[in-house]
Amino acid sequence: MKVSAEPMENSQVALNVEMEAPEVDKYLEKAYNRLVGKVSVPGFRKGKTPRAILERHIGKDALLQEALELLVPEVYEEALESQEIDAIAQPQIELVQTEPVIFKAIVPLRPTVKLGDYGKISIESKPVEIKDEEVEATIEQLRQQHAVLLPVDRPVQFGDTVTIGVRSEKQGQSSPIGKDLVYEVTKGGRLPLPGFPEELEGMKKGEERSFELSYPSDYEMKELAGHEHSFKVTATEVKEKELPEINDEFAKSLGSEDLASLREQIATNLKTRAEDRARLELEQKAVDAAVELSEMEYPPVLVDREIDRLLNEEARNFPEGIAGLENYLKSLDKTMDDHREELRPIADRLVVRSLVLEKITEAEKSEVGTPEIDEEIDKMVKHAGEKAEELRNLFGLPQARESIKQSLITRKTVDRLVQIASGSV
């Protein structure tokens, strides 16, 4: 056996393997021994057919194919060992020729990451301030949410809630979309199509209207983009909002002592959320800066694995799993391969981010002990109620604990980057 290795870009190596005839014959004999007991040859009992007869019966290529299925995996492993190659995933194998047997394997290697001087990263973090206008806007949202709907005997106005029946009309055919639909008539609303709420303005109870609207040119279902859609709408009820007054009674109905306490609580909540957003933004900027300073090479298989993970996450949103996702993509006139390519840039960024954080973890010697894992599990099951014990047992499994450990280590590494970037080391 002759083996040579050629380095390739993106942390890969091309392994070229050429077999000698006697070596191939050894695997042809193994293939014969596997097949002779399975293949019926006229005039011979199973297991008793001579190799030459069996080869003529099934064809030389068929016997060779069976031999290659045995040969390639075993010889590939031997070639890896002889070249001292540390593969991280299955290779892409190409059979170059059969006489003599020559095959080529593209082997993915461990990524190489060279960190930049991430200790000099500096990112300005602005203090979070909540304006009075934001508090008042939140109070107005709460006021809208607690409005009472009262029937009115007048034409529809923006802000009203109407009960409607909607039919679709196409080529003279009418088909129902919904009956007794409750719809809030909001000016500028884009559902079900832009312009729909404007068509309802001025309608009276019992009135029927027909109109046409166009799908936007960038509509996600390409076959409908730019096309017109006809609607026939019947209004069966019109209601207007009666908004509560903003006073201490309103605040008490929301669980606060008075209006001042409500404003204070809202301001606190808004500040907490704003600080969380600012923290996430700072984390992202710090990681991005570390990535920008780094140099790396990694095999494409890592991106393919990440795409698989993203697809599996998406599939959880469909009762039928991957099949449901595929059907959804078909409705958008897309294939799974199309979607994989859409996800590739996202997956690539996630792989790069993960590799850099992993290298920083090594540099910073970030570690997580058993007490920290136990504390995290306690937080995760705290509000699980009756399922707390079940979840605790699930998170107690070795694989789950290891996953939690890796998540905590990543969090600790990101926290360290944020400390450096914000100058709070």
Q: Domain containing 370 — which CATH number?
A: 1.10.3120.10
> What is the count of structural domains for the chain?
3
Contacts of 59 (CB under 8 A, 6+ apart): none
Q: Is residue 308 part of a domain?
A: yes
Domain shared by 376 and 303, yes or no: yes
Domain shared by 360 and 285, yes or no: yes
Domain shared by 280 and 410, yes or no: yes
Domain shared by 191 and 304, yes or no: no
pLDDT at residue 65, as a whole number: 92
Domain shared by 234 and 285, yes or no: no
Domain shared by 236 and 283, yes or no: no
Range of the domain at 221: 148-242
Domain shared by 13 and 85, yes or no: yes
Domain shared by 391 and 300, yes or no: yes
Domain shared by 86 and 170, yes or no: no
For the entire predicted model, the pTM comes to 0.75
pLDDT in tens, 28-76: 999 999 898 888 889 888 888 999 999 899 998 999 999 999 999 999 9
Rg over alpha carbons for the chain, rounded to the nearest Å, is: 33
Domain shared by 186 and 69, yes or no: no
Helices and strands: H and E segment counts in the chain: 13, 11
Q: Is residue 133 part of a domain?
A: no
CATH of the domain at 6: 3.30.70.1050
Domain shared by 209 and 282, yes or no: no
CA angle 239, 156, 142 (to 5 degrees): 50
Ranges under pLDDT 50 in the chain:
none
Domain shared by 327 and 218, yes or no: no
Alpha-carbon gap, residue 346 to 105, rounded angstroms? 28
CA-CA distances (angstroms) from residue 118 to 114, 169, 225, 278, 368?
11, 62, 47, 21, 22
